[in-house]
Amino acid sequence: MRRAAGKAGRGIPLLLAALMPVTAAASSDGTTNLAPNPGFETADANNRLLPEGWCTFSIGADCDIRLYSRESLEGTRSLRINMIPRVGAVQGVVASLPVEPKTRYDFSVSAKRARDVLSSAAGYFKLVVEWLDEHSGEITRKESAPVALGSLSRKRWKRFELRKLRVPRRAVTAKFSVQFFSTGPGRGVVLLDDVRIAATWKGR
How high is the mean pLDDT of the chain?
88
What's the DSSP call for residue 48? T
- Torsion (CA) 17, 173, 132, 42 in degrees, nearest 10: -30
Is residue 194 a contact partner of residue 38, using CB atoms and an 8 Å limit?
Answer: yes
Q: Which helix (H) or strand (E) holds 198?
A: strand 189-202
Model pLDDT, residue 98: 98
Read off the pTM.
0.86
What are the pLDDT digits (tens) for 117-132? Answer: 888 888 999 999 999 9
Query: Model confidence over 71-105: pLDDT tens digits?
Result: 999 999 999 999 999 999 999 999 999 999 999 99
**DSSP secondary structure code for residue 151 in this structure:** G
Q: Tell me the C-alpha to C-alpha distance, in Å, between residue 157 and each of 13, 65, 176, 177, 194.
A: 29, 19, 20, 19, 10
All domains of the chain, ordered by start, with CATH?
A: 2-202 (2.60.120.260)
pLDDT in tens, 160-199: 999 999 999 999 999 999 999 999 988 899 999 999 999 9
